[in-house]
Structure 1
């Protein structure tokens, strides 16, 4: 958490707060963690995009170099970590304050796993997950043929999805949900063409529905927007965090295992591991 649906919802929510505003000062107390943020000061936010689980705020170029800084466009990169989010008021967990010419926006992060950095557009070598990320699941770039081909030689399917290489933005929640929908065991290896096609369609379906619902807000309530609005997709979870509850297809209790150090939920009847 948060995964693509939560980050996309955040992008849409903060766009009216930051788009077209000039960042006058960025305040924090951890320069080793929130890197090169001074380079954003004095620049205007001209676009707010997203790649996988990362927010990318495009910053306008200076008309001329100032104080030796690069005059070209830059990006303010934000990763929400596990508990990061934006608020309109400072709080005990505020880590970064974005001062603008029209007020301030606060980045809160209770567990401190979030990241904020200023980079040149597309230069993500310091962020290897972003640098090697696969296609967006709801874009035309997420082609079925390419996915099916890659899945044929992949290892355990859930860790493969979590690597972000076959498709971006699918984390623990939406991997479990997509695998439930496609009836695949999370540890299944070397998917057949038919299995991979089912999974490809399931990922698209799950992600589209989760984005439309504003993402998932779990029991800890850490994910919510600056206006206090929570996600609603959690009421549609079929597998994730439903340990012991009956599968909505067959009634078998949902089981939980640990796979690649991640809690993993599945139906042992509908999602049987095939020997390969």
Structure 2
């Protein structure tokens, strides 16, 4: 399992988002409060953002965030109005390497996932590959359930929220008759114009997820509150958050 977070609001530095807060992702990497299947997130970290031209950018590192000598320079120099970030606790059997480190970007989307699919290589990978077109399937570089989940969402059509719903609906249908296979599916995805976040699971308990509608003027979604500021609200299991700049986030049931 991992810890994930997203920011959408006034431009801020990477450090203001993940390092400065008392319980930002850099702190959650070794002192998470609500993880149930691991104790630390020491298997790498990454961040995705938009450059000045609105193009997705990504930085990924296989070292723990606290051991990355690049963090200090990146934290004070990178600035964006949109951030997705992840500190990773690798699922057993899924290698700790750059290809498997989140976030992922592709087709103008930025994506991060907290959770896992039980025995992914033998349960759902073949079905997901059959659903994904060659053009997208050939861009998959690693072997994680997370990257295949992202590819499945990219394969769908419609609004960003509709694409997420359709991808998750396929997984739910495939697992309907296999109650021994858990899929924990907390995700955050952005098309550069808004955010869609989901807290959900099949045959298990979804990991924690929170939203703050006005975190220093921004909308922030995170596995755990980043600080003790007021405004943090639980995202309930089976709930989707649709956030658009300048508008109040919308909560919908899946």
Q: How does the TM-score come out when normalised to structure 1?
A: 0.26
Based on CA coordinates, which of the two structures has the bigger radius of gyration? 1
Q: How does the TM-score come out when normalised to structure 2?
A: 0.28
In terms of fraction of residues, the more strand-rich structure is 2
Which structure is richer in relative contact order (CA contacts within 8 A, separation 6 or more)? Answer: 2
